[in-house]
A = this chain, B = another copy of it.
Amino acid sequence: MEKPKEKPEGGASDAALRDFVGYNMKRAFNVLQADLARTLEPFGLRMLTFSALSMIVENPGLRPSQLAEALSVERANVVVYVDQLEEAGWVTRAPSETDRRAYALQCTLAGRQVYEKARAAVRAHDRRMLDGLREVEIAAVKKALMRIEGRG
C-alpha cells in the first residue's frame, strides 16, 4: 500500500488551466465585473440597468423587445430593468403611436444626466482595467472578443 502523497504547501499551480482562454477569461471577467459593479453602485445602477439606460439614451423610442434583442437578454428580464429605471425616474414608458401593445422607451432629463456621469465613471473603469496596454493591443482584444462572440 502506497502512501498518498500530499501537496505540501503553496505549490498548488493552475498552470494547466492557464493554457485555456476560457479559464483566463472567466477569472478576468470576475475581476472586471466586481470592479464595474463597485463603479456603478454609487449611481444606483448595475451592469444591465446601465446597459439598458445607455441603449435608451442612444436609441430614443426604443421598444422593450428591441432592447431585449440588442442586449441578448429575455424580454421577461427587460421588464425588470425598465421597472427599475422607471422607478428611479430616468426612463418613461410612452405608449407607442403605431402599436398599442408596445411602449416607446424615452429617457428623462435626470436619466440623461445620470447616464452621462455613469458613462464617465465606466470609461474611467475601462481605462483602469486596461492600463498599461498599448492602443494596438486594446484593439486586438476588442477584435478578438467580438470574434469569439461571433462563434455563438
Contacts and interface: CB of A to CB of B under 8 A. Distances in A.
Nearest to A127: B21
Given A4-B94, A7-B66, A140-B144, A32 B24 contact: no
Copies in the complex: 2
A32 B35 CA distance: 21
Interface string A4-41: 11110001111111111111111111111111100000
A128 B147 contact: no
Given A11-B59, A17-B54, A141-B141, A72 B30 contact: yes
Contacts of A109: none
A104 B142 CA distance: 41
A55 B14 CA distance: 6
A137 interface: yes
A125 interface: yes
Nearest to A102: B6
Contacts of A16: 54, 57-58, 119
B132 A59 contact: no
Contacts of A57: 16
